[in-house]
Amino acid sequence: MVLSFSVDELYKFQDFSTIDEQIEYLQMVENEIDVQSFDITPLDEFFVHCSNIQAWVELDYDTAILDHRLSFPLLRALVRKKDKKAIKVYREEIAKSFQTTFLTVPLFLIVENFLDNLKSEEFHWVSLRRNPKLRKSIKKALKTMDMKTKFDKETKFDRETKFDMAIEILRFLSFSYGDKYAMRILKSFLNRMMIYNPGKVVDFLDFTFPMTELSSSDLHYFIMRSPVFLDLLTIDSNIIGLYKETSERLKGERLNLMLNEILFIINYNEPKRNIHKYLIDCLSNYYYSPRT
């Protein structure tokens, strides 16, 4: 299929530096701009693709001029075939793809394991510290969980899609590649959730981040900032002392199990007196359990 735009619409594409950005923009505004499509024969479509790939080769495998779903797999295949030009530009093209406000390509590269070929000293190229545009886009996408945030013309589907993409990028960069900036953004986001929507924190962690991947200090951080946990102190001021003593008795996996259970308990959607009872029972069970 060939797309045709009115002259008035062409200026909107001047700010995009890659084909991927243009594709994502078109998907987002397809109902707002005047776009005409024309069917072409399979043979014509084949020659169009051949022409695009020829231009891609002549421009030293510049991934900006092809859809990322085509350019990067081709580039990786050429690297495996020991193509000298491909080997030279492979890492540069990956790094360049993280210098963007669009989430699609970085997520594709992460999920499809393109970053696995980077050397440890090269990972800083894709770190959020070095890529402020991507970092800003991720933070913006995370705000979709905050009901107080005002949004632009994006649909609810678009916002949820970007949120899911941002979470996936943070998850991989934090836990698989040890990006401290990604983890910092993640903790900040979860901390905000504990304030305005604590009931969803446990579900969010369970479905997005295996609890075993979070350290005891991380779980402790979220518990101590839970408004539900702090509110329980008005019922029983001894809770904080029992919590502290029990935490000091446990180590390793046992400690994480208890903190995981506490985080779940304090997010029950039940009356405060019930949550108080569950919490006391949990702390007592761990406090009086045999040390291992």
| Predicted pLDDT at 210 | 57
Mean pLDDT along residues 221-235: 88
Give a yes or no: residue 279 inside a domain. yes
Residues in the chain: 292
Kindly state whether residue 252 falls inside one of the protein's structural domains.
Answer: yes
| pLDDT of amino acid 129 | 92
CA distances from 111 to 63, 189, 212, 245, 270 (A): 18, 22, 21, 42, 38
Confidence of residue 217 (pLDDT cuts 50, 70, 90): confident
- Residue 36 bridge partners (DSSP): 4
Q: Which structural domain, as residue segments, surrounds residue 251?
A: 211-292
Residue 198 lies in a domain: no
What total of structural domains would you count in the chain?
1
Q: Confirm if 4 and 38 have CB atoms less than 8 A apart.
A: yes
Q: Strand, coil or helix: what is 155? A: coil
Rounded percentage of the chain residues whose pLDDT exceeds 70: 76
Average pLDDT over residues 230-252: 91
Tokens of 266: 């304090």
Question: What's the confidence (pLDDT) of residue 16?
Answer: 56
Cross-strand bridge partners of residue 2: 38
- What are the residue ranges of helices labelled H in the chain? 7-10, 19-29, 42-58, 68-80, 84-97, 104-111, 132-142, 156-171, 180-196, 201-208, 216-224, 227-232, 239-249, 252-265, 272-288
| Banded pLDDT at 236 (limits 50, 70, 90) | very high
Say what percent of the chain tops pLDDT 90.
Answer: 33
pLDDT value of position 175: 80
Residue 281: what pLDDT? 95
pLDDT, residue 13, reads 47
The average pLDDT across 225-240 equals 90
- pTM, 2 dp: 0.71
**What is the C-alpha separation between 263 and 214, in angstroms, rounded?**
12
Over the stretch 87-109, which tens digit does the pLDDT of each residue have? 999 999 999 999 988 899 999 99
Of 78, 76, 82, 3, which Cα lies nearest the Cα of 37?
3
pLDDT bucket at 127, cuts 50 / 70 / 90: very high
- Taking all residues of the chain, what is their mean pLDDT, rounded to a whole number? 81
Predicted local confidence at residue 74, as pLDDT: 94
Under the banding of pLDDT at 50, 70 and 90, the label for residue 77 is very high
| Mean pLDDT in residue range 177-193 | 86
Using alpha carbons, select from 266, 260, 292 the residue that is nearest to residue 279: 266
Please enumerate in sequence order all residues whose Cβ is within 8 A of that of 118, keeping only pairs 6 or more positions apart, or say none. 91, 94, 125, 126
Give the pair of three-digit tokens for residue 134: 């991507």
User: Does residue 55 sit within a domain?
Assistant: no
Bridge pairing between strands 2-5 and 35-38:
antiparallel
Q: Which residues of 214-242 are buried (b: 16+ CB within 10 A; e: fewer)?
A: bebebbbbbbebbebbeebeeeeeebeeb
235 in a domain, yes or no? yes
Measured distance CA(240)–CA(245) in Å, rounded: 9
